[in-house]
Amino acid sequence: MAGMDINEIMEYLPHRYPFLLVDRVLEVVPGQTITALKNVSMNEEFFQGHFPRHPVMPGVLIIEALAQAAALLTFKTEDTKPDGKIVTYFVGIDKARFRSPVFPGDQLMLHAKLLRQSYRVWKFATQATVNGQVVTEAELLCTEKVLEA
């Protein structure tokens, strides 16, 4: 299936600057996989403090970028858009590994594969790469919760 530009991404994700961490979706196959990207710029606010003389993208933000890509795969799989009545939460992060740092100027490729889904629980195998090299990988477990009126 075709990709998504930033305007379409913002129709699905509630995140906004500076916390929207997916710039483009290159390919999504509902029920299977998604490939997205995050252009890492020196202008990112977190580089002011992490670390000023040796800027490195925080690992937790790489995991968050992977989770946002996985959320897009969830919506595309369900063939639905968020309506403000359901929110998605992390319920687990397993097998997280940080293999290499991510620096300003890198293009972070975000890959998520749906491993299993039952009722409102989703499990994904995720991987972030830079120039074809794995920098981060993790299994993410998410759930959808219906908000009270």
Q: Which residue is catalytic, options 15, 50, 54, 111?
A: 50
Please state, as a whole number, how many other Cβ atoms lie within 10 Å of the Cβ of residue 131. 9
Q: Catalytic: 50?
A: yes
φ, ψ dihedrals at 68, nearest 5°: -65, -40
Residue 88: which H helix or E strand, with range?
strand 86-98
Point out the residues that are catalytic. 50
